[in-house]
Amino acid sequence: MSSIGKLMKQAARMQQQMESVQAQLAQRTVEATSGGGAVKVRVTCDGNVTAIKIDPQALNPGDAQLVEDMVLTAVNQALKQARDTANTEMGKVSQGLGLPGLM
C-alpha cells in the first residue's frame, strides 16, 4: 500500500477516534469553586456550564459584586479545566499521526 493510502487510513481512523473522544468529553464534567466553596460551577469538557451552586450565606444583598466576582472566577476556572481535559484527550488521539503542526 502506498504511503498516501496508509496516511489516508490513519487520518480516517484518527477522525473516528476524535469523534468518539468528543462524545466522551460531552459526558465528562469538571467542577471549580471560589470564595472558599461559596460558589461551585460544573462544566462539561466540551465547554457547557451545567450547574452553578451558590451558598445561601453568600447572598447578602450588599455583597452582590463579590458574589458576581466569585461566580465569574469559578466559571472561568471550570472552563479552563474543561479545555485542559479536552486538549489532553484530543492530543492522545493525534499523538501517533506524526504530522508536524498537529497538537
How many CB atoms within 10 Å of residue 98?
A: 9
In the prediction, which pLDDT does 35 show?
A: 87
| % of the chain surpassing 70 pLDDT | 91
Task: Please indicate, yes or no, whether the overall pTM of this predicted structure exceeds 0.75.
Answer: no
Produce one character per residue of 11-47: b if its CB has 16 or more CB atoms within 10 Å, e if not. Answer: eeebeebeeebeeebeeebbebbbbeebbbbbbbbbe
- Confidence at residue 103, expressed as pLDDT on a 0 to 100 scale: 46
Task: Provide φ and ψ at 88, rounded to 5°.
Answer: -65, -50
Q: Diameter of the chain by CA atoms?
A: 71
Residue carrying C-alpha cell 465547554: 47
pLDDT digit string (tens) for 37-50? 988 999 888 888 88
Please, what are the domains in the chain? 3-94 (3.30.1310.10)
